[in-house]
Structure 1
Amino acid sequence: MSSVLYVCVRPERDAADAEHRSFARDLSITNLHRLDLLHASLETVEWEQYDGFVIGGSPFNVTDADPSETQRDVERDLERIATRALAGETTALFTCYGIGVVTRMLGGQVTLDHPESVQAARIRLTAEGSADPLFGPSGPEFTVFTAHKESAAAPPPDAVLLATDDACPVQAFRVGEHLYATQFHPEASPQDFADRMAVYRASGYFDPGEYAATADRVLASSVDGADLLGRFPELLLGR
């Protein structure tokens, strides 16, 4: 059985704990190990203990004009994970904020031109995505939750575009064989996302005055990103 480490980059404890539970459920790992980069250093990780890493979302943005030192430290640690995945020393799946960190690290552009409000988005696989061992079985389309202010303007150099939609041209890419990044949230069920909305109600992802209507729409949605996450441990067994 493969061993996975969930890497948390959310400052809000309730949202962080809930996201951990979501990843554990969809990865089918009862005791999913966790590293909270807001409170612990990547230096504490015994790399050889883990076959792969999943990196959760965050309200941080790489386009922030004046990031805190805490955010800078988090981004340096995320880049270290990405560097190891590029070298084939581990396999990593970055979500949400993490796709921006990886895009910038690889020399790509992160832009505010393609925001997506809170919604269940229909994602389309590219031909390369359909042939990918992690994404392919989900295709040709699947539905997941999105809510973001920034995104990659285009896949960064050497990246393979795996998924897109009408609002956001880069929903997922792969670099090499072991580094994946998604703009969307594969782990969130409708209840998960509705609960997360309560934490980030005043964070600019949706109109707070439309909170009840937005939550109702989220709860009425149907998503199937869990299938993708469920294949991640299987992918690690083939490394």
Structure 2
Amino acid sequence: MSSVLYVCVRPERSAADAEHRSFRRGLGVGSLDRLDLLHASLETVEWQQYEGFVIGGSPFNVTDAEKDEYQRAVEHDLERIARRALDGDATALFTCYGIGVVTRMLGGEVHTGQPEQASATSVQLTDAGIGDPLFGPGAPTMSVFTAHKESARETPPGAVLLATNDACTVQAYRVGERLYATQFHPEASPQDFADRMAVYRASGYFDPRDYERTERAILDASVDGHDLLARFPELLRG
């Protein structure tokens, strides 16, 4: 069994498969176990045996006014993973939608006032980020892909802000020593992200009339997210 579990929360099979490949490549592992929470709960795998969890994005939003039973079940299971990391029994990296789930769990506010359209953006590490074992070995400024409709209004109680920018105040934080959350997507290459945006073309992450321009800008971008993701297995060994 792999020591890391990729947790998928995407309903679209093509986007889910591609995200799985992205995380496997970014982590630098030959195989990466996978759990699709929309089709199976945590109880269907020996999830407590994993040392690490990487949680992908989703078209879901924590601020959705109406949630069906599947979304509620997904958020419940994600909180269980987060609590295991809070207890120091595993290391978890939540991305995009996941940062909203963790923020709400910690008693923070998730709002829709700082959305970012699909694009590459620059984020700056805080002093805590520069000293962090996952973020710190990289440069103090990172270029990463982002596309979201909601975000944490501010760093939730108990969390340490690791990365920020003017467009979205909370780009990444850590809680304790083992729980990480990023608003951005560290796993996606330019081609990965362009392919993903094709799936979500009409989902409100950019003006569909600007699709070709958006795709061109994404494919021309240079991002650093994989460098961060490649350090994740080192946290498990450490």
For Structure 1 versus Structure 2, the TM-score category normalised by the shorter chain is: over 0.9
Indicate if the aligned counterparts of 2:2 and 2:33 stay in contact, CA closer than 8 A. Answer: no
Q: Which residue of 2 aligns with 1:164?
A: 164
User: Which residue of structure 2 aligns with residue 124 of structure 1?
Assistant: 124
C-alpha offsets along residues 9-51 of structure 1, whole Å, 9 cap, x if unaligned? 0000000000000000010111100000010110122135311
Once the two structures are superposed, residues 163-185 of structure 1 have per-residue CA deviations (whole angstroms, 9 ceiling, x without a partner) of 00110000000000010000000
Distance 2:185 2:29 in 1: 18
Unaligned regions of 5+ residues in structure 1, if any? none
CA distance in 2, matches of 1:208, 1:195: 14
Q: CA deviation at 1:68?
A: 1.2
Unaligned 5+ residue runs, structure 2?
none
Cross-structure match for 1:113? 113
Indicate the SS of the match to 2:231: helix
Structure 1 segments of 4 or more deviating over 3 A?
Answer: none
- The answer to whether residue 209 in structure 2 is matched with residue 209 in structure 1 is yes
CA RMSD of aligned residues (A): 1.1
| 2:222 alignment counterpart | 222
Give the equivalent residue in structure 1 for 2:193. Answer: 193
1:183-214 residue CA offsets vs partner (Å, 9 max, x unmatched): 00000110000000110000000011110111
Superposition deviation, residue 158 in structure 1: 0.6
How far apart, in 2, do the equivalents of 1:47 and 1:87 lie? 15
Q: How many residue pairs get matched?
A: 238
- Which amino acid counterpart does residue 195 of structure 2 have in structure 1? D
Aligned to 2:152: 152
With normalisation by structure 2, the TM-score equals 0.98
Q: For residue 80 of structure 1, what is the aligned residue in structure 2?
A: 80
Question: Whole-Å Cα distance in 1 between the matches of residues 22 and 156 of structure 2?
Answer: 29
- 1:180 aligned onto 2:177: no
Q: Write the distance in 1 (CA, Å) between the matches of 2:11 and 2:2.
A: 28
Contact 1:110 1:151 in 2 (8 A): yes
* 1:22-171 to 2 correspondences below 5 Å: 22-171=22-171
Q: TM-score, normalised by structure 1?
A: 0.98
| Structure 2: distance between partners of 1:3 and 1:11 | 25
Tell me the distance in 1 between the aligned counterparts of 2:208 and 2:52: 37
Q: Is the 1:96–1:185 contact (alpha carbons within 8 Å) kept by the matching residues of 2?
A: yes
